[in-house]
Structure 1
Amino acid sequence: MSDITIRKAAVSDAKELLDIYSYYVKNTAITFEYEVPSAYEFAGRIRDITKRYPYIVAESNEKIIGYAYAHEFIARKAYDWSAEVTIYVDHNKRKTGVGRLLYNELEKCMRAMGVIDLYACIGVPNGEADEYIDRNSVDFHEHMGYELKGTFSKSGYKFMRWYDMVWLGKTIGEHLDVQPDITAFCETKEGAEYGTDK
């Protein structure tokens, strides 16, 4: 995977990222979103997330093949040191190592902010895997050091089937008695130097 470049996402990437995401909306229960958002709405999501958190893409031969980002876990000050992470890889590029590259880079970005705990919300089968979902995402996160934190049975309904939702977590920093405030990623040294916007 030496031909892959990781850089900051830009609002102008919205259509290319949406091309990746739309496959999962239409064909899987990996996302519980029913309708593919518009490019305008997706650009707004990128804009909102990057006000505070990292949003990164993996490029190969000038084509985006995956993306990952972090965002607010819960909108309360006490949760500032936790963040939810999300990753999507072009369905034709899964299991090629691009996901690992993206998550390793995302963790570096989150450490620079002072975030301690990362959480991933993942849809899983309620029983056996089917044509819409399997446990590959859970396996990937566990391979990356995430541990199961909780299961919500039959909490997502898509394609006329009920699916479970699990939360996995990973601690990447130290919990202190006096915890320094986190810094918006764009205000960190790493954020200022990280890649270039398109």
Structure 2
Amino acid sequence: SFETEVPTEMEMERRISSTLAFLPWLVCVDGERMAGYAYASKHRERAAYRWCVDVSVYIRDTCRRSGVGRALYTSLFALLRLQGFCAAHAGVTLPNEASVGLHESLGFRPIGVYPRVGFKDGRWHDVGWWQLPLRDRSGEPGPTLPMEALRRAAGWDEAIAAGLKLLSR
């Protein structure tokens, strides 16, 4: 993460509420502790970008390599497809073999690198960008489904179950 300070609980609540107005934010809980979360955000503000999203996944250190990231992303991508989004983009601070491996194993392909774009911990960091096609982009896309409609859509339960199934292995 390029956070330079840990966000407060109130700030995280604000971010989650703001995201959930338009896009999914999923949380995986292990007992009483959060194991990880994944969410989508607008790729850019201009109208022509409205069918593309950026995605992020964060996994608690003790839950890494347990399938939580894959499970969260599996459900998130299924929900984004239901909403009508066409592509997901993920930025990865480099080097990060584990994150690159996860993204590429899920079908993401590298599309470029922003060299020395973020300064943290006393040094500059590169960010690589990966893209995952979610739907066909050969014609004009239809409208995207708002969150309130997505929650009632046929396919919601299946999208969530697809990720949960990966956790019960």
Which of 77, 90, 114 matches 1:120? 90
Say if 2:56 is the partner of 1:86.
yes
CA distance 1:152–1:74, change in 2 (3 Å):
same
Q: Is the 8 A contact 1:112 1:185 kept in 2?
A: no
Task: Give the Cα separation in 1 of the matches to 2:106 and 2:143.
Answer: 26
- Superposition deviation, residue 62 in structure 1: 3.9
Secondary structure of the structure 1 residue equivalent to 2:61: coil
Q: 2:22 aligns with which of 41, 49, 52?
A: 52
Aligned mates of 1:156, 1:183 — CA distance in 2? 33
Unpaired segments ≥5 residues, structure 2? 161-169
Hey, what's the Cα distance between the residues in 2 that align with 1:187 and 1:71? 18
TM-score w.r.t. length of structure 1: 0.74
What displacement does 1:116 show?
0.8
Range with bigger deviation, 56-65 or 115-124:
56-65
Contact kept in structure 2, 1:185 and 1:191, CA below 8 Å: no
Hey, which of these two has a bigger chunk of helix by percent?
2
Equivalent pair of 2:25/2:40 in contact (CA under 8 Å): yes
| Equivalence for 1:172 | 134
CA 1:94 to 1:179, structure 2 compared with 1: closer, same or farther past 3 Å?
same
Task: Output the CA distance in 2 between the equivalents of 1:69 and 1:174.
Answer: 22
* CA–CA distance in structure 1, aligned partners of residues 123 and 78 of structure 2: 37
Structure 1 residue 108 and structure 2 residue 78: aligned? yes
Answer whether contact 2:79 2:156 (CA < 8 A) is retained: no
Amino acid at match of 1:173: R
For the residue of structure 2 that corresponds to 1:177, the secondary structure is coil
How far has the Cα of 1:167 moved from its partner? 0.8
- What pairs up with 1:149-164 in 2 under 5 angstroms? 149-164=111-126
Using the TM superposition, give the Cα deviation of residue 107 of structure 1 relative to its aligned residue in structure 2, in angstroms. 0.6
* Alpha carbons 1:69, 1:106 under 8 Å: kept: yes
Q: Distance in 2 between matches of 1:90 and 1:145?
A: 23
How many pairs align? 157
Match of 1:181 in 2: 143
Identity of aligned residues (%): 29
Structure 1: distance between partners of 2:28 and 2:12: 18
Which ranges of structure 1 fall in alignment gaps of 5 or more residues?
Answer: 1-30, 126-133
- Measure the CA separation in 1 of the matches of 2:82 and 2:63: 28
The RMSD of aligned alpha carbons is: 1.8
